[in-house]
Structure 1
Amino acid sequence: MFIEQKLAQSALFGTTGVTRTLEFDLAKLVEEVGELAIEIQVTKGHLPKAKGGVDGVVGEAIDVINVALDIIFLQMAANGITNSHQIEEMIQAISNKKLSRWAKKSKEIEAMQNV
């Protein structure tokens, strides 16, 4: 539900305007990853708590997800697909493939560690 809501929001924003480009979203993604990095450093005690924000690690990770979903929407819209349900189905299909690969890789790493 979260993914479809975010994609619907992206659709409302449309695909035109200075903030509706892949370049803008890439810059925003880098910014959000930087904020996530700060929160992780605060959590691990490498930075003082005053450097962190109110969102913490989870909130900043969600910001990263939101921007990544907007990037997906913009790219799919460039390919002629703007229906949030269709995009969500595509995300699910690709995610399933990637999760299968990660599971396989995890088993390989585990097997190497048990040797």
Structure 2
Amino acid sequence: MIGALVVVVLVALVALAVYGVVLTVLNRPPDVWTKRAAGAVVALLLLQAAIGAVQVFSGTALPETSTFLIYLVVSVCVLPIATQFATAEPTRWGGAVVAVGAIATAVAVWRLQGLWVPGA
């Protein structure tokens, strides 16, 4: 895993969570910018997942490889599902749904970094 990419992903997820909370406080439903921001973060997550999967499948030994791969899949899937759920029926709480999805994804990315102990 690339440490700088993890930091960029975490910062983007926190920014998306703050944006979702701001939308909720302002009593606005998620808009097209919410989808675009979530899409940009998902692109970063896909890049991270591709790099992590390539490293694992090319021979990097991890103590908990299956757990790492499960977190990798979860980190990519949660945010698009939360965004779809938030925008399916636009209400003021859609921003909160996006914020919770971003926070859950940030926890998964943080856990991925903790599981990344090559050669242990």
TM-score, structure 1 length as denominator?
Answer: 0.42
TM-score of the superposition, structure 2-length normalised? 0.40
Kindly name which structure, 1 or 2, has the bigger radius of gyration based on alpha carbons: 1
Q: Which has the higher contact order (CA 8 A, sep 6+)?
A: 2
